[in-house]
With several copies, the nearest count.
Chain A
Amino acid sequence: MAARRDAIDLSVSFAGLRLKNPVIAASGTFGYGTEYRGLAAAFGAIVTKTVTAAPRAGNAPPRLCETRSGMLNSIGLANVGIEAFLRDKLPALAGCGTVVIANIAGNDVAEYGALARRLDDAPGVAAIEVNISCPNVKQGGAAFGADPAAAAAVTRAVKRATALPVIVKLSPNVSDIAPVARAVAAAGADALSLINTLFGMRIDIERRRPSLGNVTGGLSGPAIMPVALYHVHRACRAVGIPVIGLGGIATAADAVEFMLAGAAAVQIGTATFVDPAAVRSVARGIAGYCRRQGLSRAAEITGGLRC
């Protein structure tokens, strides 16, 4: 029994990265990697909160609101800015026990490039995730993610600026994700990650006001899982580069659905808020699934969907 347990190889390799397991902490839900004390090491990798060129205060509160099986956030990319990130946050991650992926967002194409250049030789950064899909900011954000040409331009700028693997994070707020995925892949992205949050809104009916200070926000959590899986399925069919699947993953079964659809790895975000130990149960459950299916490596799950 113990022998069989040991036999499952959870590691996955893609885009020049090697992760000890396929469960990654999603950007914005794991801070700068140290807030959940000691938890980083349980993940195959962690993606840090989106950093921008200048520090950002973020949007007016309330910034959160619950929905059925989900939540809305309108954080607005509150972050310390690239310089403080490099100076204070990144060093604190040394020895965190896992692969660190830095997530960036710019106001324009040039800023994306500049951020990538600044990270290129930063110690401890294994890859860059490019956020072109934040629903909560006016500039940059989801507008880039909805336009194949703009998405490609950002990708090219980032690729030119760094030798690190570049993962581009796509928005689900499009009628078809395939053209965006193809444009980004053609522009040289090493991998895609999707989805970011869906546009959403709630109203406080007694006060007759939006529940969020910023009026609208991004929907995450189990509620969006089927939508995320749909887009991941489509993206995997559209491009040859690796895809990281996320959106509403709360259980190992959810993670396996994304991998079967073609994801090389998964990210979990909201699930960590609900249960910081989710990463462990998801990783353990993926191993259990491999055992049931007679697979020896988690990587064999990827693309196993028959349809």
Chain B
Amino acid sequence: MAVVSNRMIRPDVGRVWFRSRALARQARPGQFLHLRVPDANAAILRRPFSIHDVVGDRIAILYRVVGDGTRALSALSAGAPVDVIGPLGIPFRVMPSRPPLVVAGGIGIAPLQFLLRRMTARGLHPRLLYGCLTRSALLPHLAVTRAVTTDDGSCGGRGLVTAALAREIGRRPGAAVYACGPWPMLRETARLCRERGVPCQVSLEARMACGVGACQGCAVKGTAGYLTACHDGPVFDARTIDWDQGVAV
């Protein structure tokens, strides 16, 4: 698979497009790619990234530079070959009969862009609730009806995106929630949804080795024992997750 383009769209966030007809055809929103980034300072493991978007035979990931692997990723230029396993994992299950509420926190927008695109293509009218710390952290996303919130009020409503969600759930009876973002945001989202009886799917992260369910390394505590983020997830029904676990990836 080769890089088509790779650009920083924020000082610490890049988007890379690859060309791969096979991947583009198979990919479903919520799934991820397991990437090998060469020369990442003796870091040997692959890195998982949600599929951010698919257009034609091109497939994108949106990445935040947090360490050696993502730094090496940001250095890839057009034409560079990339070793990818995927698409992997359980995708979002779109519930066509329910008005979709899509909740993103920060870089959590990554998998939701693709989800929004597919929902729109199916004639659904998703509403995006997008929360960020501040204006400059907002990332580009599809033009759908949306409410932006920033913790500091520098753009859109001031406050947490979960506060916006609490309001929206009331306004959209029978809605289904699809969420990705930091753990506290997801926990609160799950709590709200459970309280209001709204189905809720979340995309979770965990450190991964194999990415295919072979190593049990990416365990996430579920209500009925451990689940693997790569094989049982990364998208989970929020009710199957133990939201009280201390999480540190």
Chain A interface residues (CB < 8 Å from chain B): 28-31, 35-36, 49, 57-58, 60-66, 68-71, 73, 75, 78, 204, 207, 209, 221-222, 270, 272-276
| A75 vs chain B, min Cβ distance (A) | 5
Q: Are B209 and A71 in contact (CB under 8 A)?
A: yes
- In the A-B complex, the 10 residue pairs with the smallest Cβ-Cβ separation, listed nearest first, are A31-B214, A35-B214, A64-B217, A68-B42, A78-B216, A273-B209, A64-B207, A35-B213, A69-B42, A61-B219
Contact partners of A272 in chain B: CB under 8 A: 210, 214
A63–B216 CB distance below 8 A: yes
Could you tell me the distance between the alpha carbons of A299 and B220 in the complex, rounded to whole angstroms?
Answer: 36
A58 touches B216 (CB 8 A): yes
Q: Does B248 contact A (CB under 8 A)?
A: yes
- Given contact pairs A61-B219, A273-B209, enumerate 6 new A-B contacts (beta carbons under 8 Å): A31-B212, A58-B216, A62-B248, A65-B207, A270-B44, A273-B215
CB distance from B82 to the nearest CB of A (A): 13
Cβ of B219 and Cβ of A273 under 8 Å apart?
A: no
Residue B231 CB within 8 A of the other chain: yes
- Between-chain CB contacts (< 8 Å), 5 pairs: A60-B221, A61-B220, A61-B226, A64-B217, A274-B36
Q: In the complex, A270→B210 CA distance in Å?
A: 9
A275 to B209, CA, bound (A): 11
* Contact of A73 (CB < 8 Å), options: B209, B247, B249: B209
- Residues of A near B39 (CB, < 8 A) are none
User: CB-nearest residue of chain A relative to B219?
Assistant: A61
Given B42, B215, B226, which contacts A31 in the complex, CB threshold below 8 Å? B215
Q: A61-B221, A73-B217 are in contact. Are A273 and B226 (CB under 8 A)?
A: no
- In whole angstroms, how far apart are the Cα atoms of A78 and B226 in the complex? 9
Alpha-carbon distance between A204 and B74 when the two chains are bound, in angstroms: 24
Residue of B nearest to A32 (CB): B214
Check A66–B216 contact: CB distance below 8 A: no
How many A-B pairs have beta carbons closer than 8 Å: the answer is 96
> What is the CB-to-nearest-CB distance from B22 to chain A, in angstroms, rounded to a whole number?
15
Q: How far is the CB of A212 from chain B (nearest CB, A)?
A: 10
Residue B83, interface by CB 8 Å: yes
B198 on the A face (CB < 8 A): no
- B101 contacts A by Cβ under 8 Å: no
Give Cα A152–Cα B85 distance, bound, in whole angstroms. Answer: 42
Q: Which residue of B lies closest to A74 (CB)?
A: B217
Set of chain B residues within 8 Å of A71, measured between Cβ atoms? 44-45, 209
Q: What is the CB-to-nearest-CB distance from A236 to chain B, in angstroms, rounded to a whole number? A: 23
B169 within 8 A of A: no
Quick check: B42 and A275 within 8 Å, CB to CB? no
Does B43 touch A at the CB level, under 8 Å?
yes
Using Cβ atoms and an 8 Å threshold, which residues of chain A touch B231?
A: 35
Determine the chain B residues whose CB is within 8 A of the CB of A35 once the complex forms: 210, 212-214, 231
- The contact string, 1 if C-beta is below 8 Å from chain A, for chain B 18-54, is 0000000000000000001000011111100000000
Does chain A have a CB within 8 A of B206? Answer: yes
CB neighbours (8 Å) of A209 from chain B are: 248
Bound CA span A141–B107, Å: 41
Whether the pair A66, B248 counts as a contact (CB closer than 8 A) is no
- Check B225 for interface membership: any CB of A closer than 8 A: yes
- Residue in chain A with minimal CB distance to B68: A66
Determine whether the beta carbon of A66 is less than 8 Å from that of B217.
no
- Complex Cα distance, B249 from A60, in Å, reads 12
Report the minimum CB–CB distance from B108 to chain A (whole Å): 19
The interface residues of chain B lying within 8 Å CB-to-CB of A66 are 43-45, 207
Decide: A78 and B213 in contact? CB cutoff 8 A.
Answer: no
Is B190 part of the contact surface with A, judged by Cβ < 8 Å? no
B83's nearest neighbour on chain A, judged by CB, is A275
Q: Which of B73-126 contact A (CB under 8 A)?
A: 83, 85
Contact call B207/A62, Cβ cutoff below 8 A: yes
A30 vs B46: C-alpha distance when bound (angstroms): 16
Q: Does B235 contact A (CB under 8 A)?
A: no
Cα distance A289–B219 when bound, in Å?
31
Query: Is B202 on the interface with A (CB-CB < 8 A)?
Result: no
Which residue of chain B has its CB nearest to the CB of A210? B248
Who on chain A is nearest to B211 by CB? A273
